[in-house]
Structure 1
Amino acid sequence: MKKTYLFIFLVFPFFLSNEIIAQESIEEEEKHETKFKQQPGLAKAASKVFFSEKPWSVSGFGEISMVNRNDIPVGMEDDIELSYNNLYRFSTFFGYRFTDKIIWNSEVMVEYLQDPNGNDHFELILEAFMDFSIHKSFNVRTGLYPLSLGYINNNDEPVMFGSVNRSDVERIIIPSTWMGMGVSFYGIISPSVNYTLGFAQGLDGSAFRSGTFIRSGREPRFDSNAFTTYSVNPQINFVGLKDWTFSGSAYIGQAGNNQEIISDNGTRRADAVVQLYSAYAKYTKKNWEFMALATTGYMSNTKDIFDMTAQANGGIGEVMANQNIGYLVEGSFDLLSLFQNRKFLRKKSFIIDPHEVKVPFFVRYEYIDTHKNYNKNLIAESNANMVHFNSDIITIGVNFKPREEIALKVDYQFRNNRATGPYAAKEDNLLEFGIGFIF
């Protein structure tokens, strides 16, 4: 299977080169505008209904990826999306504009994953929400929608980031993709500033795992306690400086879920609060792109989380971080721009759009510390479980984008965990291949 993937990724670019390289020349490139626009809080394909000439739209994305992983990272056994060898994902958005002011959007996603131990996982994911366009400065979104936090969570389609997988900073510290059940207000304050303010369900702290922070507790709930805990999620973006985007966002929410904790001292209600803050700056200029992102998370009363997880996991309690941090810096350059004379491109075809062909090469450095601070007393408990990532990750990769909607990807990750001792997670270097598309 791995040899088949490798053959496809080695041969496919040469096959496409028959479409690109030709004897005839083309006219000089005209000014070309993107076919996909973005609605605040949504990625490109997910935004289609807001800009469709018809009252309805069908759009979506798909991706296939392979990772040469030999072992499942410690602490990620319960989350196959963090430990897979093969991933197949397809998502379809169905949108309908009842009026120019009332817009329905929904997503049906199917995915199939396999891990190194031969385990597989199939999942069907549904998402639906309604937008009410009241004024450019004040709009309402309600239902199950993507939270506005960090970068990837609102730009999660595979053609919108260079690496095969999303960065660890935005998978482990910020658990992308993250959907929330609630209501969100968004709008444009001025040509330079826009905002989002959301109110959604809180987290399920009984599902937390120490190595992945709040990721396992982010799933929407529909039980009797679904709306007994709440969260607030503000974001503000500044786009007033040419070629730059600056963004700051936060999430503050309850994680106790009002669950009862039974102990020798009696029964009490779990009470814990999660705070997560993130900021990024992005610069895009012709063939260059740079991005820097930082995030930090805080969790109060980790003793209650320890006891909650122990009740849910057959007595094993998770030692969660009181604080964690993560950051990344990434630079990208389009290698195709080195060819000054681009008359070797053919006219537009269903595979190639000469205005959009790119070969971006990128380098990314990221750092995560899942347990910058934690309760040392909990680790002394006989039933304690902790997985510590204190990792440097360097990713080097290249994409081939024959048009805006398609990306072929390959990257290599150098991974090193600075943590030592029995709680340090093992890290291995990874080679990744991927194909992604939107429509």
Structure 2
Amino acid sequence: MFEYLVAGLLTFTTPPSSPTVPTVSPARQQPAQSEIDELRRRLDVLAQELERLRSGEPEEELTEAQRRSLGVAPSAAAIYRKKQGVSFAGYGEIVYQKLDDTLENGAASPASSRFDFLRAVLYAGYRFNDRFLFNSEIEFEHGGEEVGVEFAYVDYRVRNDLTLRGGLLLLPMGLINEFHEPTVYFGTGRPETERRIVPSTWRENGAGVLGSRGPVSYRAYVVTGLNARGFSANGIRGGRQSGKEAIAENFAFVGRADLAPLDGVLVGGSLYAGASGQNQVGEVDAGTTIGEVHGQAQMRGLDVRALYARASIDDAAALNGALKLTGAAGIGSVMEGGYAQAGYNVLNRRSTTIALTPYYRFERVNTHAEVPAGFTADPAKRITWQTLGLELRPVTGVVVKTDYQWVTNGARTGRNQFNIALGYAF
């Protein structure tokens, strides 16, 4: 392999042999002045067109607090740095997973390793003027097998501290859903709490307001509700409508508030509430409430984050009946989870461009924290993950992660796994 790489480099770096120069008549050796003027004119036109495509010079970088108050990840904020015109940005990640062939209880259970180009994403935005802008995220998943729109919205800035937003929106919940670029969070995979209780990536059609006042920022939307027909014993993730011909019989409210008392410090919470029946499960409303609190501190190379989330479903027994679910296969009336994690950049004092960060995360999730009368809690739904890993950022926008996960559950059928991931964002 090394020889192939060297040969390839030599192919591209070795200058070609001098070609034979054809004889040109003296009359053609010196171009006419008119030809030179025409070439200059064309170059000027090309330069103007390139400048038009650039559509304005970028503004000053957003501060972390400004970006978070807008609910956008670093690369997703590209359009907010433009004075006018088009912006492009993106991110992607590829993940290798090696699963143990033995379960927690010692039973043999062969499992296939997986290597997945998980996603490649393009952000495209357009700023119309100093008040209106459009922003979008188009995602290609699993090597291009699936294509979808993660968000697509229009912002209208009423004033510096108040913006109206409408379209396909990321719900402002947790530490991951709005900020899910691989260069933003620790781990080859997202925390399970923010997949099973807060079902990231979660987006719905809707509209709302966002703004900030001093150290406090907020976002509040009305969106299409979940569809309870997709709920299961594993959680509510299957109930997301994601803006695809969404049934709009039930709407929901989602709101978030954050306090940033110091640079690098953030504490806050969010709440989602709304019926999820959508006239798809008989007369059952399936009122769904999800709440979460979170905190984050990043300073002097140390990064500490924690989150707790809880979801409750009204009429869970009736919903299980409508879906013909019985026993341990029933949907829980209460689901909860949380995690705490910490990492430290050991190169913090030596480099401002390269980071090497060992990290650890402890996490628990139980989608059968409570079950309705007549149903049985499945101990396999009470899961604990311990993740120990190392993250290398050789340059801003590129990250290589590797970690090992110890997975246990109440039924002793957990399976450990080893992971490697490569991510980028620009």
TM-score (norm 1): 0.75
Cα distance in structure 1, aligned partners of 2:145 and 2:327: 27
Q: Secondary structure at the match of 2:277?
A: coil
Q: Does residue 292 in structure 1 map to residue 306 in structure 2? A: yes
Query: Per the alignment, do residues 242 and 405 of structure 1 end up closer, same or farther by CA in structure 2, a change over 3 Å counting?
Result: closer
> 1:157 Cα shift?
0.3
Q: Does residue 407 in structure 1 map to residue 421 in structure 2? A: no
Partner of 1:47: 77
- What stretches of structure 1 of length at least 5 have no aligned partner? 8-32, 74-82, 114-120, 262-268, 343-353, 380-384
Partner of 2:358: 361
> 1:321 Cα shift?
1.2
Contact 1:208/1:318 (8 A) holds in 2: no
Q: Does residue 398 in structure 1 map to residue 422 in structure 2? A: no
Partner of 2:194: 170
Contact 2:226/2:275 (8 A) holds in 1: yes
Indicate the percent of aligned positions where both proteins have the same amino acid: 23
Cα distance in structure 1, aligned partners of 2:373 and 2:379: 14
Encode CA deviations 1:339-397: one digit per residue, 9 max, x unaligned. x6x4xxxxxxxxxxx53210011111111111111014145xxxxx9684212211011
Partner of 1:142: 166
Contact 1:309/1:316 (8 A) holds in 2: no
Q: Secondary structure at the match of 1:245?
A: strand
> 1:271 Cα shift?
1.4
Cα distance in structure 2, aligned partners of 1:260 and 1:54: 47
Cα distance in structure 2, aligned partners of 1:318 and 1:301: 16
Residue among 245, 251, 261 paired with 2:266: 245
Q: Does residue 97 in structure 1 map to residue 127 in structure 2? A: yes
Q: Does residue 377 in structure 1 map to residue 374 in structure 2? A: yes
> 1:295 Cα shift?
0.9
Query: Per the alignment, do residues 331 and 413 of structure 1 end up closer, same or farther by CA in structure 2, a change over 3 Å counting?
Result: same
Cα distance in structure 2, aligned partners of 1:387 and 1:285: 39
Q: Secondary structure at the match of 2:311?
A: strand
Cα distance in structure 1, aligned partners of 2:263 and 2:167: 34
Encode CA deviations 1:405-426: one digit per residue, 9 max, x unaligned. 1100001111111x23xxx7x3
Partner of 1:201: 224
Partner of 1:184: 208
Q: Tell me which moved more, 227-236 or 61-70.
A: 61-70
Contact 2:332/2:371 (8 A) holds in 1: yes
Cα distance in structure 2, aligned partners of 1:333 and 1:260: 48
Q: Does residue 276 in structure 1 map to residue 299 in structure 2? A: no
Q: Secondary structure at the match of 1:279?
A: strand
Encode CA deviations 1:177-197: one digit per residue, 9 max, x unaligned. 111110121001x21111111
Contact 1:159/1:437 (8 A) holds in 2: yes
Q: Does residue 109 in structure 1 map to residue 133 in structure 2? A: no
Query: Per the alignment, do residues 245 and 221 of structure 1 end up closer, same or farther by CA in structure 2, a change over 3 Å counting?
Result: closer
Q: Secondary structure at the match of 1:159?
A: coil
Cα distance in structure 1, aligned partners of 2:266 and 2:137: 28
Question: Aligned pair count?
Answer: 356
Could you say what the CA RMSD is over the residues aligned between the two structures, in angstroms?
2.8
Cα distance in structure 1, aligned partners of 2:135 and 2:392: 31
Amino acid at match of 2:254: N
Q: Secondary structure at the match of 2:92?
A: strand
Partner of 1:28: none
Contact 1:158/1:436 (8 A) holds in 2: yes
Residue among 242, 249, 255 paired with 2:276: 255
Partner of 2:20: none
Which structure has more RCO (C-alpha within 8 Å, separation ≥ 6)? Answer: 1
Q: Does residue 217 in structure 1 map to residue 204 in structure 2? A: no
Contact 1:322/1:371 (8 A) holds in 2: yes
Contact 2:84/2:130 (8 A) holds in 1: no
Query: Per the alignment, do residues 198 and 318 of structure 1 end up closer, same or farther by CA in structure 2, a change over 3 Å counting?
Result: farther
> 1:88 Cα shift?
2.9
Contact 1:415/1:428 (8 A) holds in 2: yes
Cα distance in structure 1, aligned partners of 2:87 and 2:327: 48
- What stretches of structure 2 of length at least 5 have no aligned partner? 3-59, 104-112
Q: Does residue 131 in structure 1 map to residue 160 in structure 2? A: no
Amino acid at match of 1:247: G
**In the TM superposition, what are the counterparts of 1:422-433 in structure 2 within 5 Å?**
426-433=413-420
Query: Per the alignment, do residues 226 and 89 of structure 1 end up closer, same or farther by CA in structure 2, a change over 3 Å counting?
Result: same
Cα distance in structure 2, aligned partners of 1:165 and 1:63: 10
> 1:136 Cα shift?
2.6
> 1:273 Cα shift?
0.7
Cα distance in structure 1, aligned partners of 2:118 and 2:191: 18
Residue among 242, 248, 252 paired with 1:227: 248
Cα distance in structure 1, aligned partners of 2:63 and 2:214: 20
Partner of 2:335: 324
Q: Tell me which moved more, 35-44 or 132-141.
A: 35-44
Residue among 82, 86, 91 paired with 1:56: 86
Amino acid at match of 2:237: R
Cα distance in structure 1, aligned partners of 2:197 and 2:244: 25
Contact 2:364/2:384 (8 A) holds in 1: yes
Q: Secondary structure at the match of 2:414?
A: coil
TM-score (norm 2): 0.77
